[in-house]
Structure 1
Amino acid sequence: MDRKSISFLALGLVLGALVCSAVFSFLASGGGVGANTRVLKLAHGLDTSHPVHLGMVRMKERLEELSSGSMTIDIYPSGVLGSEVQCIEQLQSGVLAMSKTSTAAMESFIPELGVFGVPYLFRDEGHFWNVLDSEIGHDLLAVGESTGLRGLCYYDAGSRNFYSTKKPIREPRDLVGMKIRVQNSRMAIAMVEALGGSPTPIAWGELYSSLAQGVVDGAENNPPSFESSRHYEVCKYFTPDAHTRVPDLLMIGTKVWNSLSEEQRAWLQAAADESSVYQRELWAVKTRESLEAVQEAGVEIVDCDPALFQAACEPIRATLEGTPVAPWLAKIEEAE
């Protein structure tokens, strides 16, 4: 081997050693995160274009700014770490730090949160956010701490409304004889029964085919979900009755929360609060765009009188006396 070959070999060995050292240091520090950085794992089932995910990205950025890089969040979207219920259980065990969950999924863990499923509870959107931003809303976020779960903030999930395949739903009697897909929630089932329909719990991923094949005659959800699921392709009637306004919840496991210092908690809470405000703005824009899009696709926005639906659901209130929901129901109804 000549001197030139030896020189190139030596140079290669040196460069190889430097690269290996750099890679080792990168991995040892957590993939570019400082060795002393606290990393919180957050999982949810939404896609990366959803306003809630974008709100979480904002939260991650603000947490890094507020903590001067000493805290960050790893976000796992699209259900890669499990279903909502599986993620909630991981919060309780401390395997996962945070997760977005619907109030319907939380009912079996924190019964008090079933209050959000009470139909026609909120007078309008203003009343809804006034309550959530008040002491009542803050207390509801903390009510599940004994079960290992604490709420950090609310994200807007809009109002839930009926949509159908064969005929418009203008008043409660139109629901008689109709099979309506609902979430697996006692309150949602009671609501459709009170309105005269036949509640049918079906997994979200199976709903499009169920609507197309006539297994169910309709469903209920918010406008962005109606559009993104492409349910408007088979359901040409959308009834904006706003029977429930159910927020998404950003939950943290108390095992992780209790492991944070007071300063770290303050940073995280501030970042979460800012992300909530930001997400609401995104949601308002998305809702407007979704309604325009489905109308362009041939969906009729049905005229209805929500007061008729509310009156039909009034008997549900009597069934809630003596339940964990009752005290919160009274507080919300009395709130401005």
Structure 2
Amino acid sequence: MPFLDRRAATAGLVAGAGLGFIGCSAANERVLRSADAHPADYPTVLAVDEMGRLLEERSEGRLSIKTYAGGQLGAEKDALEITIFGGLDLTRVSIAPLSAIAAEAVVPALPFLFRNTAHMRAALDGAPGETILAALEPHGLIGLCFYDAGARSFYTRDRAIMAPEDLKGLKIRVMNSDMFVSMVETLGGDAAPMPYGEVYQGLMQGVVDGAENNWPSYESSRHFEAAPVYSLTRHVMAPEVLVMSAKRWRRLSEEDRALIRQCAKDSVPFMRAVWDERSRKAEEHLRAANVEIVTPDTQAFVEKVKPVWDRYLTTPALHRLADDIRTLGQTKEAGDV
């Protein structure tokens, strides 16, 4: 669907939800409207609720956030576009769609960039994360903070993925992202972009042979019922991002901008605690459900995806950003990916 058509369609959803477009009334100025495709009890939604609580408390009731969860205002990409032109104040979005807007956003989605969760959080909390968030502003978005999205691993209907060769002949659902398509195809699989809501049926009907996602999504979507083999490749740890409309941002005072930034940052530890607990419970549930869980040696995968890095790190600045993240907290070794 062309951009303008998608924008009009999502505008209709916004109006249908009783929001209209953001105006300049006092009521609108104090309530920030936020969209999230995840359900109301998902960690990112709870984190924005916590941000709203902090904002209302610290502004003495002058500012607050109203969150529309569960895709009430349209698909993630539509909500992002509406936010860019000012129809929404805030939206939580996966990093992958942002790579089409700002080249820097491609870096955190690179396969096998992060060694572990601690490394990912340190990079995104530090200078590399600030660089990525700042790169969004020329494109109509203010990057406020990163939220965790866990480590993504492959799950399949009937085959463990212990080596890249095991993906050969398998149709694997991926997000609508060139990066994810390239990654799966480079590893030897057949990438099949598909909306998240269609994956369960696709697995059940054999339209796709597998998919890839984190523990909570694999469990809460009940994809494990159709694809009960979970291979812990942990190939991507791409974060979620909370962004604000630059158009709305420009109408705020410097004091309110600083307050919103701080409340967003202060919601991150809350989100991570909720995420860690959610992940732990999801893993426990899946193990109790007798899902076959295997842990492959990922070195062959790391070597195989080097062309993906070459394809998407198209400038010296992107190479430097990836190197800054990759070497954070350790001495760079020749040949590392």
Normalised by the size of structure 2, how large is the TM-score? 0.86
Shift of 1:317: 2.2
CA contact (8 A) 1:37 1:70 kept: no
Q: 2:167 aligns with which of 161, 167, 175?
A: 175
The match for 1:144 among 126, 131, 136 is 136
1:298 alignment counterpart: 290
> How many Å apart are 1:227 and its aligned residue?
0.6
Report the equivalent of 2:89.
97
Identity value in percent: 39
Write the distance in 2 (CA, Å) between the matches of 1:45 and 1:321.
Answer: 29
**Matched residue type, 1:288:** R
Q: Choose which of 211, 220, 228 in structure 2 pairs with 1:228.
A: 220
State the distance in 2 between where 1:206 and 1:68 align. 43
Q: Summarize deviations over 1:265-308 as a string: whole Å, max 9, x none.
A: 12111111111110000000110110111121120111211222
Check whether the contact 1:155–1:280 (CA below 8 A) recurs between aligned residues. Answer: yes
Q: 1:242 Cα deviation (Å)?
A: 0.8
1:210 lines up with 2:202 in the alignment: yes
Counterpart of 2:319 in structure 1 is 326
- Partners in 2 of 1:179 and 1:79 — Cα distance? 27
Q: Give the residue type in structure 1 aligned to 2:68.
A: Y
What secondary structure, in the 3-state scheme, does the structure 2 residue paired with 1:319 have? helix
Alpha-carbon distance in 1 for matches of 2:209, 2:176: 17
Structure 1 residue 36: Cα displacement:
9.3
User: Who is 2:145 aligned against?
Assistant: 153
**Mean Cα deviation higher: 310-319 or 54-63:** 310-319
**Whole-Å separation in 2 of the counterparts to 1:126 and 1:157:** 13
State the one-letter code of the partner of 2:268.
Answer: S
Structure 2: runs of 5 or more not aligned: 1-25, 330-337
Give distance in 2, aligned partners of 1:311 and 1:180: 20
Q: Is the 8 A contact 1:40 1:72 kept in 2?
A: yes
Pair 1:273-2:265 in alignment: yes
1:162 and 2:154 aligned: yes
The whole-number CA distance in structure 2 between the counterparts of 1:291 and 1:236 is: 13
Q: Deviations over 1:197-254 (max 9, x none)?
A: 1111111111111111111111000110001110010111111111010111000011
Matched, 1:57 2:49: yes
Of residues 265-274 and 326-335 in structure 1, the stretch that sits farther from structure 2 once superposed is 326-335
| One-letter amino acid of the counterpart of residue 196, structure 1 | G
| Distance (Å, rounded) in 2 between the aligned partners of 1:87 and 1:60 | 19
Equivalent position to 2:253, from 240, 252, 261: 261
8 Å Cα contact 2:84-2:139 kept in structure 1: yes
Verify the 8 A CA contact 1:177 1:198 in the aligned structure 2.
Answer: yes
Deviates more, 1:195-204 or 1:307-316: 307-316
Contact 1:227-1:294 within 8 A present in 2 as well = yes
2 CA distance for matches of 1:99 and 1:280? 18
Partners of 1:36 and 1:212 in 2: how far apart? 45
Matched AA of 2:150:
G
Q: Which has the greater radius of gyration?
A: 1
Q: CA deviation at 1:35?
A: 5.8
Q: Is the CA contact 2:106–2:312 (under 8 Å) kept in the aligned structure 1? A: no
Letter of the 2:291 partner, please give it. Answer: V
Q: Find the aligned partners of 2:29 and 2:190 in 1 and give their Cα distance.
A: 52
Contact 1:116–1:245 (CA under 8 A) maintained in structure 2: yes
Q: Distance in 1 between matches of 2:327 and 2:101?
A: 26
- Rounded Cα–Cα distance in structure 2 between residues aligned with 1:36 and 1:314: 48
Partners of 1:145 and 1:327 lie apart in 2 by: 20
In structure 1, what is the Cα distance between the partners aligned to 2:312 and 2:34? 34
- Alpha-carbon distance in structure 2 between the residues aligned to 1:241 and 1:305: 8
1:148–1:170 distance in 2 versus 1, CA, 3 Å: same
Q: Secondary structure at the match of 1:161?
A: strand
Partner residue of 2:276? 284
> Deviation string for 1:148-188 (max 9, x for gaps)?
11110111111111001011111111111111111111111
CA RMSD of aligned residues (A): 1.7
In the superposition, the TM-score normalised over structure 1's length comes to: 0.87
Contact map agreement 2:219 2:286 (CA 8 A) in 1: yes
Question: Structure 1: which amino acid aligns with 2:125?
Answer: D
The 3-state SS of whatever aligns with 1:208 is: helix
Q: Take 2:28 and 2:239, find their aligned partners in 1: how far apart are those partners?
A: 35
Residue in 1 that maps onto 2:70:
78
1:36/1:70 contact within 8 Å kept: no
